[in-house]
């Protein structure tokens, strides 16, 4: 098992991707704590429904608030005594439109959920990781960092998290902390229709420039997070790994 003996903290337990990461980490031997992303005050409905393993430590709190982020990390330290893996999954608001549709309130919400949450939780987690002998931070963001039509705030935040990831890798490598990013395209969160025509229509809707002609799933996201969290990637830091069926590849 790739995470045997390790302790992981995963945010955004309420999303398909966050839930899939938690389940995969547990399957690979990790002891896992999980919490909401951004300012969402959720305790993890998946845990109540049985989708999240019962032995996962589900923590309530706002990771955008530095004091709350520290409290969450302190709870992990109290329960498990160490922290080896942190997965930051941003959850800022998704404003559709142009910059003409972005308010200051919307900007603050998006930046808090996508960027400040990474800073607040990582700054709380890194000292504990150092005491644990090092660790891996995985920041999950979007291929939209190169620009998104109709979603300028999402693109700006994704770009910020991408460069933040590289800077964190440079700053904390000597402390034994690896920092990498997953860049996600559109994620298939439900089973595709069994009807061939409906399935074709779904793929056509999201295909865009996708050489593989498909969508990735939450389980694909979990597999990417597992690779970057585990010792299989022990010599990789500052990498931005796209999971997007090739959507971010240039087309000439």
Domain that holds residue 180: 7-189+217-243
Give me the pLDDT at residue 198, please. 65
State the CATH number of the domain containing residue 128: 3.40.50.720
Q: How would residue 75 be classed by pLDDT, with cut points 50, 70 and 90?
A: very high
Q: Is residue 211 part of a domain?
A: no
197 inside domain: no
Q: What is the mean pLDDT of residues 208-217?
A: 74
Residue 95 lies in a domain: yes
| Count of structural domains, the chain | 1
Strand segments, DSSP code E, in the chain are 7-11, 31-35, 57-58, 85-89, 135-142, 177-184, 187-188, 216-217, 240-243
If pLDDT is split at 50, 70 and 90, which confidence band does 194 have? low
* Residue 40 confidence (pLDDT): 42
Yes or no: say if 131 and 85 are a contact pair by the CB < 8 Å rule. Answer: no
pLDDT in tens, 110-130: 899 999 999 999 999 999 999
DSSP assignment string, 15-83: SHHHHHHHHHHHHTT-EEEEE-STT-----HHHHHTSS-TTSEE----TTSHHHHHHHHHHHHHHHS--
pLDDT at 158: 92
The answer to whether position 91 is within a domain reads yes
Compute the distance between CA of residue 129 and CA of residue 122 in angstroms, rounded to an integer: 10
215: pLDDT confidence band, cut at 50, 70 and 90?
A: confident
Q: How confident is the model at residue 250 (pLDDT cuts 50, 70, 90)?
A: confident
Pull the structure tokens for residue 205.
Answer: 């809707």
Residue 200 lies in a domain: no
> Measuring CA to CA, which residue among 171, 162, 107 is closest to residue 139?
162
Nearest to 207 by CA among 184, 192, 185: 185
How confident is the model over 5-33, as pLDDT tens digits?
Answer: 999 999 998 888 999 999 999 999 999 99
- How many percent of the chain have pLDDT more than 70? 85
Residue 30 covered by a domain? yes
- Tokens 């891996």 map to which residue? 136
Is 199 a domain residue? no
**Residue 50 falls within a domain, yes or no?**
yes
Q: How high is the mean pLDDT of the chain?
A: 87
């Amino acid at each position: 098992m790739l995470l045997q003996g390790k302790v992981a903290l995963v945010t955004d337990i309420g999303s398909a991707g966050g839930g899939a990461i938690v389940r995969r980490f547990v399957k690979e031997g990790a002891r896992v704590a999980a919490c909401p992303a951004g300012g969402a005050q959720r305790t993890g409905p998946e845990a109540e429904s049985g989708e999240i393993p019962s032995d996962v430590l589900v923590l309530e709190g706002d990771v955008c608030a530095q004091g709350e982020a520290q409290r969450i990390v302190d709870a992990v330290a109290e329960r498990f005594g160490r922290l080896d893996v942190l997965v930051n999954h941003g959850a800022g608001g998704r404003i559709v439109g142009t910059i003409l549709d972005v308010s200051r309130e919307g900007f603050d919400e998006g930046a808090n959920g996508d960027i400040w949450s990474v800073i607040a939780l990582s700054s709380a987690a890194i000292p504990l990781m150092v005491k644990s002998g090092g660790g891996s931070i995985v920041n999950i963001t979007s291929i939209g960092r190169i620009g998104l039509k109709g979603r300028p705030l999402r693109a700006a935040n994704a770009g910020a998290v991408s460069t933040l990831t590289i800077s964190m890798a440079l700053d904390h490598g000597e402390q034994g902390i690896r920092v990498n990013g997953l860049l996600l395209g559109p994620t298939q969160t439900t089973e595709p229709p069994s009807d061939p025509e409906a399935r074709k229509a779904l793929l056509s809707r999201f295909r865009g420039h996708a050489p593989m002609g498909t969508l990735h799933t939450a389980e694909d996201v979990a597999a990417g997070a597992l690779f970057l969290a585990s010792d299989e990637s022990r010599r990789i830091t500052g990498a931005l790994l796209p999971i997007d069926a090739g959507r971010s590849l240039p087309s000439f």
